């Protein structure tokens, strides 16, 4: 579904991604783990058209998307749930969800998807009129996910959904990631919480200072000593 081929990405003169190649197959949950500053968010921003690679290519469903505008990438079915949620604080939860569908014109489909988001996140239904900036961190994460789902994505890019959330809420969010995947969305999940990410993912890549240093099935990586030592809290 997605084929990233040897991309280099810079901020000004500083190179942050160095020859990254990876693949995501339809139906998978693939996770990208790595320490602070490894370049995980930069990779997702590049996939969603917010940054342009200086070298390499990004193929999605058989077409090149590197260099395309973010809007046309959303239209092609890629939705990004950004780090730190980034909900529109002064708008209600429901207005945020409606914004997620702003490129769609199928009003019946939008209505159906809104109902489905409320089924996945009953809490959002209860809070639909509330100003989003006053929602809890977990509720904002649900809202950011719900907003992304309103674009009817084929591929969902998720940036650190666990950040700043209590363990029970993290579990809840990861259950929903699995549910959304079972319903048909392919997921590329960036996480520092490697334990949780590897427990839901089919395959994984480890990113260190802009390079992929390891890849394999999630199970294989969970058993690698260097992954245990660096990312899973010791041997």
| Residue 97: C-alpha distances to residues 133, 142, 157 (Å) | 14, 10, 17
Residue 70 CB, nearest distance to ligand ATP (Å)? Answer: 16
Asked if 34 is part of the footprint of ligand ATP (rule: CB under 6 A), the reply reads yes
- The one-character DSSP state at 37 is T
For residues 184 and 152, give the distance between their C-alpha atoms in angstroms, rounded to a whole number: 10
Asked if 37 is part of the footprint of ligand ATP (rule: CB under 6 A), the reply reads yes
Question: Positive or negative CA dihedral for 145, 151, 154, 156?
Answer: negative
Selected range binding ligand ATP among 21-29, 37-45, 119-127, 143-151, rule: CB under 6 A: 37-45
Asked if 141 is part of the footprint of ligand ATP (rule: CB under 6 A), the reply reads no
Asked if 152 is part of the footprint of ligand ATP (rule: CB under 6 A), the reply reads no
Residue 139 CB, nearest distance to ligand ATP (Å)? Answer: 22
Tokens (6 digits) for 103: 């490129």
Q: Count the neighbouring beta carbons within 10 Å of the beta carbon of residue 201.
A: 28
Selected range binding ligand ATP among 40-48, 106-114, 148-156, 180-188, rule: CB under 6 A: 40-48
Q: Count the neighbouring beta carbons within 10 Å of the beta carbon of residue 72.
A: 12
Asked if 158 is part of the footprint of ligand ATP (rule: CB under 6 A), the reply reads no
Selected range binding ligand ATP among 39-47, 63-71, 111-119, 176-184, rule: CB under 6 A: 39-47
* Spatial CB neighbours of 119, under 8 Å, sequence gap ≥ 6: none
User: CB-based burial of residue 115 (10 Å sphere; 0-12 exposed, 13-18 middle, 19+ buried)?
Assistant: exposed
Asked if 48 is part of the footprint of ligand ATP (rule: CB under 6 A), the reply reads no
Q: Which of 7, 28, 42, 94 binds ligand ATP (CB under 6 A)?
A: 42
Selected range binding ligand ATP among 33-41, 126-134, 146-154, 197-205, rule: CB under 6 A: 33-41
For residues 92 and 130, give the distance between their C-alpha atoms in angstroms, rounded to a whole number: 5
DSSP codes joined into one string, 188-207: EEEES-HHHHHHH-SEEEEE
3-class SS of residue 55 = strand
Q: Which of 4, 31, 40, 153 binds ligand ATP (CB under 6 A)?
A: 40
Instruction: Please identify, using beta-carbon distances, which residue of 181 and 193 lies nearer to ligand ATP.
Output: 193
Q: Which residues bind ligand ATP (CB under 6 A)?
A: 11, 14, 16, 34, 36-42, 83, 192
């Amino acid at each position: 579904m997605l084929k990233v081929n040897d991309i280099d990405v810079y901020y000004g003169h500083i190179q942050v991604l160095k020859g990254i190649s990876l693949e995501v197959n339809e139906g998978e949950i693939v996770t990208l783990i790595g320490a602070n500053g490894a370049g995980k968010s930069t990779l997702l921003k590049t996939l969603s058209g917010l940054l342009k690679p200086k070298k390499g290519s990004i193929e999605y469903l058989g077409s090149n998307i590197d260099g395309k505008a973010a809007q046309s990438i959303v239209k092609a079915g890629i939705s990004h749930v950004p780090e730190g949620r980034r909900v529109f604080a002064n708008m209600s939860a429901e207005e945020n969800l409606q914004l997620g569908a702003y490129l769609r014109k199928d009003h019946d489909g939008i209505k159906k998807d809104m109902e489905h988001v409320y089924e996945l996140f009953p809490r959002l239904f209860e809070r639909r009129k509330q100003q989003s900036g006053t929602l809890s961190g977990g509720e904002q994460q649900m809202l950011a996910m719900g907003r992304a789902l309103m674009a009817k994505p084929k591929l969902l890019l998720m940036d650190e959904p666990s950040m700043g959330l209590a363990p029970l809420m993290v579990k809840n969010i990861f259950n929903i990631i699995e549910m959304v995947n079972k319903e048909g969305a392919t997921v590329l999940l960036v996480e520092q919480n490697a334990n949780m990410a590897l427990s839901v993912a089919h395959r994984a890549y480890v990113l260190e200072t802009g390079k992929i240093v390891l890849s394999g099935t999630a199970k294989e990586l969970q058993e690698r000593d260097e992954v245990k030592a660096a990312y899973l809290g010791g041997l």
